[in-house]
Every structure is written in C-alpha cells, then in structure tokens.
Amino acid sequence: MAEKVKYSFIIPVYNREAYIVRCLDSIHHQTKQNVSFEVIVVDDGSTDETAKRVQEYPSERIRYFYIPHSNPCMARKKGIEEARGEYLAFVDSDDHIDERYIEILDPYIGKAEIIEFGRYHADNSHIYMPYKFNEETPMEHFLRSALKEYPGSLVTRIFNCCLFQKPLDYADYFFYEDYYLLVQLYTRVCRDILDIQQVLYYSEPSVNSLTRSVVDERMLTGIYALESVLKNYGESEKVKKYMKAKLAVSIPGIEGQLYQYNRPVFEKNQEFLRKVFRKYGTWDILRYIGWKSRIKITLYAISPQLFLYVRSCYKKVKKL
C-alpha cells in the first residue's frame, strides 16, 4: 500500500522548461520542513526540456508522470488519481508559492475541507483576497466570491482529499475548466470553509501561457462551461442569479479579447456573444458583482461598441 503524506502538490506542465524549476524550488524551500509532502508533476506531452528539468531536480519527493498531450484538465485528473496526500494543493508550472505556504496553512489543516487564501497576480499587480459571506451553502459562497473577483481557480485553495473520493466530471472546456471542477467540489463540502487573509500564491507573466495566449474560438468554451453549471447545479434561485450574473460578466471580457487579438473570430461570433448577454444581463446583477465588473457591464449594456472603444483607449493609456 502506498505511503500516505500530509500534502500532495499537483503540477500540470506543458513546455515550461524556463519556469518549472522556479516552481519546484518554491515548494521544496519551505520554512516548515518537518512535514510530509509529495510533488506530483504531470507532463502533458511537453516537447521541450521540461521532462529533463523535472527528472534532474534533486528531490525524492517528486513523482513524475507523462501523458499524451491533451489539456490541463486531463493532467490534473491524472494528478488527482495519483495523489496520496491528506490535502491536495494545485500549482501552475509557471507560478510559485510563498515560502511560508505550509507553515501558515498547517495549523488549519483538519478544521475545514477547503481553505482559501490570497493570490498576487503580476500581470496587473493586483492582490486577490478571499471573501467572507454569510451564505447558506458553500456553493453560494463560491459563486458569490467569484463574482466579487476572487479567482475561480484551484490554485487559490487547498482541499481535503475526501472531496475527491467520488469521480469528478472532467469536461473538455478549455476555459473555465477550473471553475467547472470547483463547482462540483463546493457542492460536496460538509464543514466550514476557512479563509486565510494572506498572499500565499504568486502568478507571474510567462511566454505562451495556455490561457493567456489562446485567443480564438476556444474562449467560447467558457460560456458552455458556465451554462452547464447553470443547467446542472442551478437548483436554488440564489444560485441561478449568481450563475446568470457570472455568464453576463464573462461576455465583455471574451468579446474584448477577441476584438483586440482575433478580429475574424470576433466578427464571426459577436452576434452569438451579444445574444448570450441579452439573455442573462439584467440590471439586478449589479448588486452581486465588483465595481470593475459594474463598469464593464454598464458600458456594454449601453453599447457594445462604446465598451470596445473605451477598452481600447484604456489599453493604450496603460501602455504609456
């Protein structure tokens, strides 16, 4: 029988030879060392020197797995299946964690099934902290937090392994695949959710990051993922309102990216995007979302062309 450990760090990786060592260093150079953990690296078919960097890394804690190239969701699935930890943590291969990650989280282990913490995003120099909401269910808490711009990402949380005992639906959504998995996990929570008001995770800009560099029709899979959540998990009226708000909020961002970086795909799909917005974008959603999203939604509702013009001007000024 495989030996159990306290923490499993799961790292999906694809062509990250320039960043994977930094990621591994941040996990291995923790201030608290007298704790058992493993590092599961799932290589999603890399064609560069990623495998060599991982296999030459001087640590017996690393377990390396190679799978044919598919998508990050399948790599995470493999990592989850192989994990032996009491708690599971996820780290993107081009990011890194705080050196006090284990030291700060360890006292709270066993007190909650999900622990949320802060994230620093270097792309926009912004810190995202978890929210405290007096919601009736963990699912409502998650949806409300995402609307308030706390990242709907696996990497800003640590999870009790009991949440993964039942199979998850790993749908092939290129965007919002984290969000889709998190919805399922939050529906399984039976105990309190804890939040740590400290930054423990750091997202750094990187060349050719999958979700940052892909601007094509795969972005539309995010809409399909959110609609699937609404259909399969929208049992209460509050959940339905939150999900409709999330769908509406996603449209200006997707349209803005396509307009700026892929005009043919934008022109092909703009009517579809605006139809989705008209379906879900009611004024009452403003009460649930953050102030930045309120500005985007208001401009877009007045005129999508106005929103795109203001967005373009903002991007130009930001570069100065």
What is 9-38 written as a DSSP string? EEEEESS-TTTHHHHHHHHHT-S--SS-EE
212 — pLDDT class (breaks 50, 70, 90): low
Mean per-residue pLDDT over the chain, rounded: 92
Percent of the chain clearing pLDDT 90 (strictly above): 81
51 — pLDDT class (breaks 50, 70, 90): very high
C-alpha distance from residue 85 to each of 27, 55, 61 (Å): 15, 21, 12
Q: Is residue 199 over pLDDT 60?
A: yes
Burial label, 31 (beta-carbon count in 10 A; 0-12, 13-18, 19+): exposed
pLDDT of 299: 96
What confidence tens digit (pLDDT) does each residue in 164-176 have?
999 999 888 888 9
Q: Is residue 115 over pLDDT 50?
A: yes
Of 135 and 250, the structure prediction assigns the larger pLDDT to: 250
Task: Give the mean pLDDT of 205-232.
Answer: 82
pLDDT of 1: 47
pLDDT of 317: 86
Q: Which residues contact 50 (CB under 8 A, 6 or more apart)?
A: 13, 14, 15, 16, 17, 20, 43, 93
In this structure, which amino acid lies at residue 169? D
pTM above 0.85, yes or no: yes
Of 88 and 314, the structure prediction assigns the larger pLDDT to: 88
C-beta atoms surrounding 170 within 10 Å: 16
Rounded Cα–Cα distance for residues 49 and 35 (Å) = 30
| Nearest alpha carbon to residue 101 among 30, 153, 202, 23 | 30
C-beta atoms surrounding 161 within 10 Å: 16
